[in-house]
A and B are shown apart, each in its own frame.
Chain A
Amino acid sequence: MTDDLLTIRDLRVYFHSTRGEYKVVDGVNLGVRRNEILGLAGESGSGKSTVIEAIGRLIEPPGYIAAGEIIFKPQTDHQPTRDANPAFESQLAAGVDLVTAEQPLLQYLRWRHMSYIPQASMNALNPIMRIKRQMVDAITAHTDLSETDAHQRAAEVLDIVKLPPPVLEAYPHELSGGMKQRAIIAIGMTLNPQLIVADEPTTALDVNVQRAILDALLRVKAETDASILFVSHDLAIHAELVDRMAIMYAGKIVEVSPVHDIFAAPKHPYTQQLLKSAPTLGGERVRQETVLGRALDRLNWPSGCRFHQRCPFVMERCKHVEPPLVEVAPGRSVACHLHYDVETQQVINADEFADGRTHD
């Protein structure tokens, strides 16, 4: 058993419909280490946000967690001043499966150990409550801090995201989009949780605000030893922010690597195409490449490797056998038959494919 902060094993999240089960997340394996920023990237509809919601146990009907486990193992001696519940804390120290955790334990660990920065933060704040109240209510629900101390704490975290104290007295509609987003990041930091899951916190914001938010997240990581699971489809942001990066495709993780390696030499053909589709600054003006084909039908995933219809290196095996996610080099995992022979259980040295040449 690893000592990762969060370990996701074979997570499956389905949405029930009259046409069948939408397998939005269908067998995700992923670990978040302590004090790292893990980036989760992938195209729209690949299931990134659903993974995040499953971690927070925020899946609403008709969605449900069909299988898998999400082991969360925070270090519980982290903040001795809180009115901690010893029974819950010892359970957490041993590792708790968030999929099966009972409501009282969930309510206990939320925000204290794990906070959530939602995707649509434009509407994430209660429109008729002052920012102050919405920060203080989370603090007083989880600690025995007095109202005054809670205000103090709220002002402190607002300062980390560079928001002035008057924001405390404001209502959400009095703030700009960027200010709301930063306020939400601040709210996520109030109790120094060990895990912050952030779902596209920079989407739809201008680059200046993006910069401020990335800086805020980096400061959080540096100052509180927190780990951040960061979801975005913006590859440039991943390159700047994250330590490791996981690529999601069709409800599965297809590649996990340190961010530098993944940009330097992507292993999975999907990752290669994804990176090529991102524009670069400077150099020749070239026509931007796109990933071939369309996104898939989540009711009926293709058999074998889910990428085989769009893959330039497709082999016969890809159409029938699903490739497992295997560590093929130190710290680098990929789910692809080009890199791992499932029959001989041998890693294939497939670096000649890394630059995207077709093998004909």
Chain B
Amino acid sequence: MDRRKFLRYGLRRLAVYLLTIWGAFTIAFVFFRLIPGDPIELYYRELQAEGFSGESAVNDAAAETIRERIGIDGTIIEQYFRFMGNVIFRAEFGGSILAVGTPVRDLILRALPWTIGLLGLSVLIGWVLGVIVGGLVGWARNSPFANGLTTISIALSQVPQYIAALALLYLFAFTLAWFPVRNAYPGTVIPGFNLDFIVGVIRHGTLPALAIIIVSVSGWILSTRSLVVLILGEDYLQYAQSKGLPRGYLFTNYVLRNALLPQITALAISLGFIVNGALLIETLFSYPGLGLLLQRAVTQLDYNTIQAIVLISILSVLTANFLLDLVLPFIDPRVRTQEMG
């Protein structure tokens, strides 16, 4: 591929990417200001409800201090520029209410690896399994085994993830007690590069990962299968068959490779959405990732933390699409011609 053409294409994509981030962040900023009610007052009422014995009304000076700390003082324009400057150039999301004294950035940085590890890996494993099995099921579409697997996949793909999670929890954690119920690792081990910790992480991650994989793999099986069945009707496959090529080669080079292209796009999109997907699973398993953090932030009306997580989920969707744009020309020659002339 022509290096200069690719560079030009990449820069064009990068410009679009940055512009979209700016637009999406601006919209997010506006939406957050549109939420009715004063967060300070809500926070104060919350404290009173919990039996906090202080002044009965919000002290103006105290409120102003808290406003400053979470960045909602001054006019809307001032707020906007401060917000953009902080978020984009310093990755600074302000102080949290969830853990007073800890910046939101630290909360996020603590939670993010768990989400990426659990959700990212589960989505990836589900995709690889689903594409391979779905490819084979489509290839052998008239065999009873393939039909059975398709029927099972149709059923499983309609199960909501939280139902699968609850079923697994009930069966393997409560009834059989093979796996732990909550957290990402046992409280008794020291996080770090040691065997106890690694085994603990795997044991704690198994059930939530399974819940995600069981549901997602059946979806990938169905979509890959239908792609393969379409390809089986393509003229180029009939022609390749007439050439007397070995069946294994036909499957990998003609069927699977063509089915893979749309599936790679779909994978990138679902990887972009893992932050959204984390909410239910992480809450059910008390898994200390972004999803659980978001759940806690929402219940405690932690304005800055919610905002930060929303921004990160926007960013991850856009980044996944940007990376996909960069990868596609390498795997699909038609995109190469179309985009780079």
**Residue ranges of A at the interface with B (Cβ–Cβ < 8 Å):** 56, 58, 60-61, 106-112, 115-116, 118, 120-129, 134, 137-138, 141-142, 171, 173-174, 184, 187
In the assembled complex, the Cα of A129 lies from the Cα of B238 at a distance in Å of 16
B261 at the A interface (CB under 8 A): yes
B7 at the A interface (CB under 8 A): no
Which of B236, B240, B261: most chain A Cβ within 10 A?
B236
Partner of B242, one of A56, A122, A142: A56
Whether A106 contacts B244 by the Cβ 8 Å rule is yes
In the assembled complex, the Cα of A142 lies from the Cα of B243 at a distance in Å of 9
B246 at the A interface (CB under 8 A): yes
B334 at the A interface (CB under 8 A): yes
Binary contact readout B250-261 vs A (1 if CB under 8 angstroms, 0 otherwise): 000110011001
Also in contact, A142 and B249, with CB within 8 A (given A126-B258, A128-B261): no
- Give the A-B contact count at a CB cut-off of 8 A: 81
Whether A126 contacts B244 by the Cβ 8 Å rule is no
In the assembled complex, the Cα of A137 lies from the Cα of B253 at a distance in Å of 10
Whether B238 contacts A173 by the Cβ 8 Å rule is no
Which DSSP category, helix, strand, loop or mixed, fits chain B's interface?
A: helix
Contacts of B244 in A (CB 8 A): 106-112, 138, 141-142
Whether A141 contacts B258 by the Cβ 8 Å rule is no
Contacts of A108 in B (CB 8 A): 244
Contacts of A106 in B (CB 8 A): 244
In the assembled complex, the Cα of A224 lies from the Cα of B260 at a distance in Å of 40
Whether A125 contacts B332 by the Cβ 8 Å rule is no
B106 at the A interface (CB under 8 A): no
Whether A110 contacts B236 by the Cβ 8 Å rule is no
Contacts of B243 in A (CB 8 A): 110-111, 115-116, 137-138, 141, 187
B194 at the A interface (CB under 8 A): no
Whether A173 contacts B239 by the Cβ 8 Å rule is no
Contacts of B332 in A (CB 8 A): 128
Which partner residue on chain A sits nearest B333 by CB separation?
A171
Whether B258 contacts A127 by the Cβ 8 Å rule is yes
B195 at the A interface (CB under 8 A): no
Which B residues, 235 to 283, have Cβ-Cβ distances below 8 Å to chain A?
235-236, 238-246, 249, 253-254, 257-258, 261
Which B residues, 310 to 334, have Cβ-Cβ distances below 8 Å to chain A?
332-334
B142 at the A interface (CB under 8 A): yes
A200 to chain B, nearest CB (A): 13
A142 to chain B, nearest CB (A): 7
| Pairs across A and B, CB under 8 Å, 22 listed | A60-B233, A109-B244, A110-B243, A115-B242, A115-B243, A116-B239, A118-B238, A123-B235, A124-B235, A124-B236, A125-B236, A126-B236, A126-B253, A127-B236, A128-B333, A129-B254, A137-B243, A137-B245, A138-B243, A171-B337, A174-B337, A184-B239
Which partner residue on chain B sits nearest A138 by CB separation?
B243
Interface residues contributed by chain B, number (CB under 8 Å): 24
Closest 3 CB pairs of A and B: A110-B244, A116-B242, A123-B235
Which partner residue on chain A sits nearest B238 by CB separation?
A58
Whether B239 contacts A124 by the Cβ 8 Å rule is yes
Whether B240 contacts A126 by the Cβ 8 Å rule is yes
B234 at the A interface (CB under 8 A): yes
Which partner residue on chain A sits nearest B231 by CB separation?
A126
Whether A120 contacts B235 by the Cβ 8 Å rule is yes
Whether A61 contacts B333 by the Cβ 8 Å rule is no
Contacts of B258 in A (CB 8 A): 126-128
Whether A173 contacts B333 by the Cβ 8 Å rule is yes
Known A124-B236, A127-B334, A141-B245; further 6 A-B contacts with Cβ < 8 A: A106-B244, A107-B245, A108-B244, A124-B235, A129-B254, A171-B333
Whether B245 contacts A173 by the Cβ 8 Å rule is no
Contacts of B239 in A (CB 8 A): 116, 118, 124-125, 184
Also in contact, A173 and B337, with CB within 8 A (given A58-B241, A111-B243): yes
Which partner residue on chain B sits nearest A133 by CB separation?
B253
In the assembled complex, the Cα of A187 lies from the Cα of B245 at a distance in Å of 13
Contacts of A171 in B (CB 8 A): 333-334, 337
